[in-house]
Chains A and B, each alone.
Chain A
Amino acid sequence: MEQTRPFYDFCIPFNKDDKVMRALLNELVELGYKTIAIDQSFDHSRKEAGKRGSEMFPEPHKVEHLRKEFGDKLRILQRITILYVDVNVAHAMSVSLNLRKFNLIAGQPKTDAALTHCCTTFNGDLVTFDPAAGSRLMVNRKAYQVAVRRGMFFEIKYGPAIADSNNRKDMIKVAHNYGIKGKSRNIIFSSGAEHQFQLRGPYDVANLAFIFGLSEDQGKNAVDRHCRQLFLRAESRRLGKTIMFVKGGGPIVFSDSSDDNQGDSQDDEMEGCPKEEELDEESDGANGENNEEEENKPANKRLKTA
């Protein structure tokens, strides 16, 4: 299983200035977050008509130096937020290679049709809400329940809500709408903070659940367990059906030989090496039998490098 540690904050907007970024990340460490995602947004509706290439999504920003710097203290993931108006985005997403380089994919629909699509067929993990556009978009009951069944998550950003009272009203409205339509299931909190002063500690954020109409448990889960589920879901979307994968510390040499004995001995070697073997859960449910399979038939495992 891919290890992540609580608490989570899955929306830190990317900033070109390294100094600002570093200040934000230092504050996050100070507050006790362990897993965060750096967000970059991409407006699909503003594409050029002439460009029909296979690649329309940008490359992820380079954050290797930050990753190295914060190494053990903070796990940095990458996330893309796709703003879109119509369902054409689905095709572009299916052919894109750059999209696979992101850990998380969030959709930010701009119209009602797009919102329904986002909940029912969108190939991402997260539905987010644009604080600047006001609260015209309201999810309906059917779409919300389909989304919950598919394991999609809904995001509530508290950063803008702290800064501006109009925004706060909209956020409360949207959050209560989730409560009315489906008991606030599958909701995560994230910051979306431009400045470190807008960041709050995880317990403070869990307390915010009270004004967003969530119960105490749901509030705690929104910064902890649901984020973990979201991460696992995103990971399984990236890797496909996986029982386990092996992470290599150095170069890995695969042998093509079909001889069973040799195959076994290779397996033993793999275990002897100082490599992390990690079991990837499909999602939150339906993985009990996978665990047993893995123990009974070690020769059956599929090796993947990550």
Chain B
Amino acid sequence: MVRIKNRYIAVQIVPYAPTKVLYLNDNTLTKCLLRNIEKYYGVYGLGMIEQGFRVKYINERTKIAIIRCMHAGHRFVSSILPLITLIGDVRAKFRTLYIGATIIQCNKFIIKHQKKFLDREMGQLTSAKERQDLFKRVMEFDMDR
């Protein structure tokens, strides 16, 4: 069976100054990434990855995003992620969590990652209400984009 090969890159956005909510949408993120690819690899790099490039998911609270790109040029994308220090107008850096071939695997990894994060944070909270809030906030997923 022949099919189109994609790569899904799960990244976490770490802002310079710790903030709770990140004001970013998928459009800004896409623009920022494409601009940076043009900066580092020029028109050739942009042409290699522009087809099929898309930000599939971005969560403002947990600051996690999934980027889809074609298999052929995915190293152009993954190699410039560490060099970016400005996303939109926020000073932030990327942290690659996982690179997978299907979005389901990416999803699984993110859920595992978030559970680990929850385990660490839950111990510091006292009231049950706060815990429920945190749980909702961290585990929220809607993949309808």
A residues with a Cβ closer than 8 A to B are: 31, 158, 161-162, 168, 197, 200-201, 203-205, 207-211
Contacts and interface: CB of A to CB of B under 8 A. Distances in A.
B82 interface: yes
Contact of B95 (A31, A162, A208, A210): A31
Given A209-B79, A210-B76, A211-B40, 19 more contacts: A158-B82, A161-B83, A162-B82, A168-B83, A197-B16, A197-B93, A200-B93, A201-B95, A203-B96, A204-B81, A204-B94, A204-B96, A205-B82, A207-B79, A207-B82, A210-B78, A210-B79, A211-B79, A211-B80
Contacts of B80: 211
B85 interface: yes
A162 B85 contact: yes
A200 B95 contact: yes
Contacts of B94: 204
Interface in B69-96: 75-76, 78-83, 85, 91, 93-96
Nearest to A161: B83
Nearest to B12: A201
A29 to B, nearest CB: 12
Contacts of A168: 83
A207 B83 CA distance: 11
A27 to B, nearest CB: 9
Contacts of A205: 82
Given A197-B16, A201-B95, A208 B75 contact: no
Nearest to A168: B83
B137 to A, nearest CB: 20
Contacts of A210: 75-76, 78-79
A69 B81 CA distance: 32
Interface in B35-83: 40, 75-76, 78-83
Contacts of B78: 207, 210
Choose among A158, A162, A197, A207 the residue with the greatest number of B CB atoms under 10 Å from its CB.
A207
A156 to B, nearest CB: 13
A201 B12 CA distance: 11
